[in-house]
Amino acid sequence: MSKFFRNKLIMLRSILASIPFCLRHLPWRQAVKLPILVYKPKYLSQKGRFVIDCPNVRFGMIRMGFFRCAVYPDTGVTIKNEGKIVFKGTCTIGNDAYIVCGKQGKIVFGDDFRNKGGMKLVANCGITFGKTVSVGWECIILDTNFHPLVDMERKEQKKAFGPITIGNYNWLGLQCYVMPGVTTPERCIFGARSILTRSGKYESYCVHGGNPLKVLTRNVMRDFGHDRIDDYSIDN
């Protein structure tokens, strides 16, 4: 099958899945435009709300589950929403992605959110992404540890949850872990397998990495839209 016809079949499959999704979750004036396209969706729960909060609602501006990363299976997107998921603009979430939003949870995707595959989000209180945030392969972002520890002296449970806020133009590299209570400023870069905790001190225009996490490089930023390697030639 040619690439052209394959792409047409993928879009047709997505539209057939997206029509009932949009009609169920969006007001009619938005739903008829099919702004949310889902590919191979698996719904564990659809009790929560989906909201598009931006002035220019258009066809396919939000795409979830499409095959974008060849190193992960073409399994679409798995969604469990019992809270509220808000889109502030365009959003791309790739294949083999999981989005879980609890009854008291809220997820806000800022305009131009980007993920190509393998992302896992768990929100039981709140996760907010700023504008043009790029989340790399296999990143796990969760606002709760699920199992609080007990302070034996005070005879009380230690807090095991906290809202997460990721600043504008942040870039999370491969397999980053973002833990409860984290807040980052704008223009942060986190290297592969970075672990972000609430006690971390993060700086704008810096690359963070290592264990424990520290600033590796200052005065740098990702130039979104002009940051692809076009020439992989190697001089022998």
Write the CATH number for 175: 2.160.10.10
Nearest 10 degrees: CA dihedral of 56, 125, 167, 25? Answer: -10
Distance CA 138, CA 18 (A): 25
Q: Which residues contact 85 (CB under 8 A, 6 or more apart)?
A: 48, 49, 50, 51, 99, 101, 106, 107, 109
Domain carrying residue 112: 40-218
Distance CA 130, CA 182 (A): 13
* Domain total in the chain: 1
In a domain, 228, yes or no: no
Amino acid at 136: G
Please name the helix (run of DSSP H) or strand (run of DSSP E) that holds residue 95, with its range, or none.
Answer: strand 91-95
Q: What pLDDT is stored for residue 1 in this prediction? A: 64
In a domain, 92, yes or no: yes
Cβ atoms of 87 and 62 closer than 8 Å: yes
Tell me the pLDDT band of 179, cut-offs 50, 70 and 90.
very high
Q: Which residue has the higher pLDDT, 6 or 51?
A: 51
- Mean pLDDT of the region 91-95: 98
In this structure, how many other beta carbons lie within 10 angstroms of the beta carbon of residue 203?
13
In a domain, 227, yes or no: no
Q: What pLDDT is stored for residue 171 in this prediction? A: 98
Q: What predicted TM-score, i.e. pTM, was given to this entire model?
A: 0.94
In a domain, 114, yes or no: yes
In a domain, 138, yes or no: yes
- The pLDDT mean for the chain works out to 94
